[in-house]
Amino acid sequence: MIKTSLLIMTVLTVLISMLLSWRERRMALARPAAPLPRGKRPRPPGLMARARLGMDRWVTAAAIAALLTIAVLGGLHWLRVLQEP
């Protein structure tokens, strides 16, 4: 049962992280860009900013996956408990 829950959590974490990154890209395209001073190019975020965004995304995905795994496996457990005579 532990291996099953770890597998479910791993798969859900990857899927949720992909969905969160897709949502971030979509929201960035929908948000209007701030006007820049004449002759200035927008600077890409630095290494630490990108790493922080990536870690935030993975931690959020892992937390959501943990909650979903607890809910699903807990629900399956209670279904089995309630069916016993």
Tell me what the pLDDT averaged over the chain comes to: 88
Q: Which amino acid is at 34?
A: A
Q: Considering all CA atoms of the chain, what is the largest pairwise distance in Å, rounded to the nearest integer?
A: 77
**DSSP string of 61-80?**
HHHHHHHHHHHHHHHHHHHH
Q: Tell me: the pLDDT tens digits for 38-59?
A: 777 778 889 998 999 999 999 9
Residue 85's H or E segment, with its range, is none
Residue 85 or 73, more confident: 73
Phi and psi dihedrals of 32, rounded to 5? -70, 145
pLDDT score at 48: 94
Q: Tell me: the pLDDT tens digits for 23-32?
A: 999 988 888 7
20 CB burial (10 A radius; 0-12, 13-18, 19+): middle
What proportion of the chain, given as a percentage, has pLDDT over 90? 49
